[in-house]
Amino acid sequence: MLDLSPEVKLLWDKINMAIQEVILSGQFILGPNVKAFEQEAADYLGVKHAVGVNSGTDALVISLRAAGIGPGDEVITTPFTFFATVESISRVGAVPVFIDIDLKTFNLDPDLIEKAVTPRTKAIIPVHLYGHAADMKAVLAQAERYRLVIIEDVAQAFGAEFEDKKLGAVGNAGCCSFFPSKVLGAFGDGGLIATNDDHMAETAKMLRAHGSAKKYFHEVIGYNSRLDEIQAAVLRVKLPELDRSNEKRRQVARRYNDLLNEMPGISIPYEAPCAKHVFHQYTVRIPGGKRDKVQDYLSRQNIETRVYYPVPLHKLPVYRESCSVLKNVEQAATEVLSLPIWPDMEYDLQEYIVDKIKIAINL
Ligand SMILES: *Cc1c(COP(=O)(O)O)cnc(C)c1O
């Protein structure tokens, strides 16, 4: 699915040096690299503050807490996402309210927000799935109308844009993940909260350090959730290369588009004119009940593909009580297939994969 070795080889010396410097400095927690990376990430995203935490999941939990969301509150989101999006809502004691998606972008359909709002609705979490922006213009309009906090799940879309703004800088807070397979991946877990809100940034910093702004003076119950100094040092080497590597992903995606465009039985990913996609995943749709057969055939040819996500979250036993019928989500779950993609993927390999897909679809 993913070959990270070309990128690591390219940056080998710089990464090695950065890690060794941290070890020699003896400062492993909230040291100079975290501080510098927070500034560099804030500048890159175009926000006032960035707060490093230990995962994308914790970025979501801490952002929700910092926005004052808790028991009794409802948060609108999509069930077509990684479990962590919705788990974080439950972990702060709030209730997720699921709405259906737009089948073109796989992201939540903002026209459905209005019907889902109740007097308890406090926030909305749009997820920029696969690296493509949710329709933030419409989300912003609804959020303003109903006074909802917007917490963007940017885990799959670091560097992606909506109307020339970096995702994560559009809502009240943007939650980023540096899980190794993400477009900006660390060598372990890591996450970040981006925000222009001084109060949210301050509260998030307090929450990540056991609820204390001043050591040993704990004001609230918090977490042990810091971005690791070694991971920050690695990310500082990788961030300046990100635009280049995202551009390479876009090029690989365009080549897939050209190869797959005319093929019957498969539809290529949509990219909205106002969005800049970073192709964390290159995800096609194969309708007509053929997706699993195609995936099986490819797997027998040693081509690894993935289904993100086979079980919509509202269908999981833990969220059974939400019992909604979300037609587009359920359809997408049976049709989507993510093909291998990484920045330095060779054209020959793409041609080989597409040839096998052609055989599989006609079987
Ligand atoms: C990866 C991911 C997360 C969680 O990030 P971690 O750093 O793994 O905790 C949250 N939401 C989405 C959409 C993700 O893809």
Six token digits for residue 292: 């699993």
Q: Do 135 and 222 have their domain in common?
A: yes
Q: Do 208 and 94 have their domain in common?
A: yes
Q: Do 252 and 175 have their domain in common?
A: no
Q: How far apart are CA 174 and CA 94, in angstroms?
A: 19
Query: What is the residue range of 331's domain?
Result: 242-361
> Does the pTM of the predicted model rise above 0.85?
yes
Q: How far is the CA of 154 from the centre of ligand 1 (A)?
A: 8
Give me the residues paired with residue 146 across strands.
none
Q: How far is the CA of 279 from the centre of ligand 1 (A)?
A: 15
Nearest to 339 by CA among 328, 327, 351: 351
The domain boundary, picked from 211, 241, 271, lies at 241
- Mutation probe of ligand 1 site: the residue of 80, 153, 175 with most atoms within 8 A of C-beta: 153
What is the atom index within ligand 1 of the atom nearest the CA of 190? 7
Q: Do 65 and 175 have their domain in common?
A: yes
Q: Do 32 and 153 have their domain in common?
A: yes
Nearest to 151 by CA among 205, 204, 208, 225: 204
Ligand 1 is surrounded, with C-beta below 6 A, by 55-57, 81-82, 84-85, 127, 153, 155-156, 177, 179, 189, 191
Q: Do 79 and 140 have their domain in common?
A: yes
What is the CATH number for 323? 3.90.1150.10
The domain boundary, picked from 241, 275, 310, lies at 241
Q: Do 81 and 203 have their domain in common?
A: yes
Count of structural domains, the chain: 2
Stretches where the chain sits below pLDDT 70 are: 323
What Rg value do the Cα atoms of the chain yield, rounded? 21
Q: Do 83 and 197 have their domain in common?
A: yes
Q: How far apart are CA 32 and CA 27, in angstroms?
A: 8
Backbone angles phi, psi at 186, to 5 degrees: -90, -170
Residues in the chain: 363
pLDDT at 326: 94
pLDDT at 3: 79
Q: Do 67 and 88 have their domain in common?
A: yes
Q: Are 199 and 23 in contact (CB under 8 A)?
A: no
The domain boundary, picked from 241, 262, 297, lies at 241
What is the CATH number for 134? 3.40.640.10
Q: Do 234 and 246 have their domain in common?
A: no
- What residue spans of the chain are helical by DSSP H? 5-10, 12-25, 32-45, 56-66, 83-91, 113-116, 136-146, 198-208, 229-238, 242-260, 291-300, 327-335, 347-361
Q: How far is the CA of 60 from the centre of ligand 1 (A)?
A: 9
Residues 297-316 have pLDDT tens digits of: 999 999 999 999 999 999 99
- Mutation probe of ligand 1 site: the residue of 82, 83, 154 with most atoms within 8 A of C-beta: 82
Q: Do 192 and 335 have their domain in common?
A: no
- Mutation probe of ligand 1 site: the residue of 177, 226, 235, 338 with most atoms within 8 A of C-beta: 177
Q: Are 60 and 125 in contact (CB under 8 A)?
A: yes
Q: How far is the CA of 168 from the centre of ligand 1 (A)?
A: 14
Q: Do 299 and 196 have their domain in common?
A: no
pLDDT at 146: 98
Protein residue with its CA nearest to atom 6 in ligand 1 = 56
Residues 245-301 have pLDDT tens digits of: 999 999 999 999 999 998 999 999 999 999 999 999 999 999 999 999 999 999 999
Q: How far apart are CA 125 and CA 253, in angstroms?
A: 27
What is the atom index within ligand 1 of the atom nearest the CA of 81? 13
Q: Are 195 and 172 in contact (CB under 8 A)?
A: yes
